[in-house]
Each structure stands twice: as C-alpha cells, then as structure tokens.
A and B are shown apart, each in its own frame.
Chain A
Amino acid sequence: MNKQRIHTDPQYYSRMTDKFSPPSKSGKCLFRAFWVGGLICVLGQAIADVGANLLKMSTRDASTLASITLVFLTAVLTGIGVFDKIGQYAGAGSFVPITGFANAMVSPALEFRREGLVLGLGAKLFTIAGPVLVYGIGTSVLVGMIYALFGL
C-alpha cells in the first residue's frame, strides 16, 4: 500500500498556492482598491454637491441623490458588462462603496433571468443584497430598541 497521499485539506492547499503566487500582488491590489474606491466616493461627493448647491436640496436629499445616481450608473455599467471589468481590476474598491451593493443586485438578476421573472430575476436580486439588508436592518432595529428603552 504505497499510495501517494492526496492532500484535501483546504489550508494546505492555500499554503501551497500562496507559495506560488507572485508576492507583489497584494500591494498592487491594495493600491487599486484605494484609488478606485476613493474616486467613486469623490464622484458621490460631486453629485451630492450638485444636488445641494444647484438643485437646492437638503443635505439628506442630496446624499440620497448621490446614492441613487451611483446605483443607476452601476446598474447600467453592469448591464453592458463594464462593471465586471472594473470589479476585476479594483476588487474591494468597487464592492465596498454602494456600487458593490447595486452590482450585487443587478448581476444575479441579469444572470438568473432565464430561470423566470419571479423565482429567477425577482428572487435572485436578493442573493447578496438579502443578507446585507437582513443584518443591517436587524442590527439597526436592535439599536433602535435600545435607544427607545434606555433613551440615549
């Protein structure tokens, strides 16, 4: 019984792949995430400034306008297949801003449309956005209850 041992341990596998990945990769990834993410936020600020100064919106409405516009742009860019490329380049730089939340909804909706309009498009919209909303809203309700009970 001189069988060669086959490694199925995922940690062993990741150590093995780490050994053969180029070492400068993470620095480049971090830099890309930084500048693309920063730029998306600058775009958001520019839209909010247009809303507040030119359209005379309240700060809160201007901020909502920025969110909606970024979501709209992401949806279109995802639709024409450009956002995937930005995502591959920028990693967290594209998915940490609200653009990532929007892409996480549009992308599965697009992909699973062929499974039907209700359980395909309608349900898969929330594949990733669902958990984000569940935990975000869940935590905020808990915080709200604490405010209401203990008055902060």
Chain B
Amino acid sequence: MLMYLKVFLVGGALCLIGELLVLLTKLTPARILVCYIIAGVLLSAVGLYKPLVDFAGAGATVPLTGFGHALCQGVKFSVQESGFIGAFTGGLSATAGGIAAAIFFGALVGLIFKPHSK
C-alpha cells in the first residue's frame, strides 16, 4: 500500500510541475512534453532518474520523463550489448511497445470513431 502512496505522490508531483510550467511560462502542452522527454533522457543519462524509478515505480515511469528514461536505459543497454550501433537501436527497442500501441490504437480509433465538436 505504501508503494501506491509513493506512486501517487511522485506521479502527482511531476504533473504538478507540468501545470506550474503551463501557468508560469505559458508554454504550450506540446513544448512541455518535448521538455519532459528531453529532461527524462538527460536525468537518466546522469543517473538521477533511476533512483526515482526505484522509489516510486509507475509514479516515475508513467509521466513522459519516464519515457525519456526508458529511451536512455535502452540505449545504454544496447551500447553495452552491441557497441556503437546500439546508440541507434536501443532507444526504440526499449520503447517500441508504447509507441506501436499509440500508433495502432490511434489509427484504429481515428478510423472507427467520428470526430466530436469541441
């Protein structure tokens, strides 16, 4: 149960920072997502993000910084396995599931559902 509390607090805090950026800087959501993924890759590269994932599980992996972390860890693993070529193969291999799911379900929903008036 304690784990779920940690997940909630860390995940919530990462979203709160995002909302704070919206309110203070008037950055568009798209720019914030780009910032989050770059921040995730860089924090993971210098070893700061892994402890957060160990501490809060999905609280750290579900926000988009976690996507960046997965990219970085994938690259790190593949470079160890296969050298320089791993810099190109690692990121997408590690995140393939989420990306393919988003493409597949995105296209499927686009085909099946009708757009809604906003």
Given the complex of chains A and B, what is the CA–CA distance between A141 and B94 in angstroms?
Answer: 13
* Chain A residues within 8 Å of B66, by CB: 98
The answer to whether B12 touches A147 (Cβ under 8 A) is no
Contact of A92 among B22, B67, B78 (CB under 8 A): B22
The answer to whether B62 touches A68 (Cβ under 8 A) is no
Give A99's nearest chain B residue, CB to CB.
B62
The answer to whether A109 touches B107 (Cβ under 8 A) is yes
- Indicate if B36 sits at the interface (CB-CB under 8 A): yes
The answer to whether A148 touches B102 (Cβ under 8 A) is no
> Per DSSP, are chain B's interface residues mostly helix, strand or loop, or mixed?
helix
> Per DSSP, are chain A's interface residues mostly helix, strand or loop, or mixed?
helix
The answer to whether A143 touches B41 (Cβ under 8 A) is yes
- Indicate if B98 sits at the interface (CB-CB under 8 A): yes
* Chain B residues within 8 Å of A30, by CB: 16, 19-20, 23
The answer to whether B105 touches A148 (Cβ under 8 A) is no
- Indicate if B29 sits at the interface (CB-CB under 8 A): yes
Where the two chains meet, the residues of B that have a C-beta atom closer than 8 Å to any C-beta of A are 3-4, 7-23, 26, 29-30, 32-34, 36-38, 40-42, 45, 56-59, 61-64, 66-68, 70-72, 74-76, 78-79, 83-84, 86-88, 90-92, 97-99, 101-103, 105-116, 118
10 pairs, A vs B, C-beta closer than 8 Å: A26-B23, A34-B13, A44-B7, A67-B97, A75-B102, A79-B109, A84-B116, A95-B18, A97-B63, A136-B34
